Amino acid sequence: FTALTTGARLDAGTVIRTAAGSEVSLFLAQNGPVVVVRADTLLGLDRLSYDKTGAETVIDTRLDLKSGRVSGHVRKLAAASKYEVKIPNGVVGIKTTGAGTDYDIEVPGRTTVVNGTATMVYNNVNYSINSGQTFDPTIPGVRPATPPEIDGTKVPPVKPTVVAEVKPPEEFFVSPLVGGGAGRSEGGSNNGPDHGE
**How much is the mean pLDDT over the chain?**
83
pLDDT-based confidence at residue 164 (cuts at 50, 70, 90):
low
Three-class HEC string of 148-164:
HHHHCCCCCCCCCCEEE
pTM, to two decimals:
0.79
Which of the pair, 196 or 166, is modelled with greater confidence? 166
> Does residue 195 carry a pLDDT above 70?
no
Own/partner pairs for 127-130, CB < 8 Å, 24+ apart?
129/92
* 9, 165 contact by CB (below 8 A): yes
pLDDT tens, residue by residue, 116-135:
899 999 999 999 999 999 99
Which of the pair, 165 or 49, is modelled with greater confidence? 49
Nearest to 108, CA basis, from 134, 136, 130, 74: 136
Nearest to 89, CA basis, from 63, 112, 65, 72: 65
pLDDT tens, residue by residue, 79-111:
889 999 999 999 999 988 778 899 999 999 999
pLDDT-based confidence at residue 55 (cuts at 50, 70, 90):
confident
> What three-state secondary structure class fits 85?
strand
Q: What does the pLDDT average to over 11-21?
A: 92
In this prediction, residue 181 carries a pLDDT of 42
Sheet (strand 9-10) strand order: 9-10, 162-164, 24-27, 33-37, 69-74, 101-106, 110-114, 133-136, 141-144
> Does residue 166 carry a pLDDT above 90?
no
pLDDT-based confidence at residue 188 (cuts at 50, 70, 90):
very low
In this prediction, residue 184 carries a pLDDT of 39
pLDDT-based confidence at residue 191 (cuts at 50, 70, 90):
very low
> What three-state secondary structure class fits 29?
helix
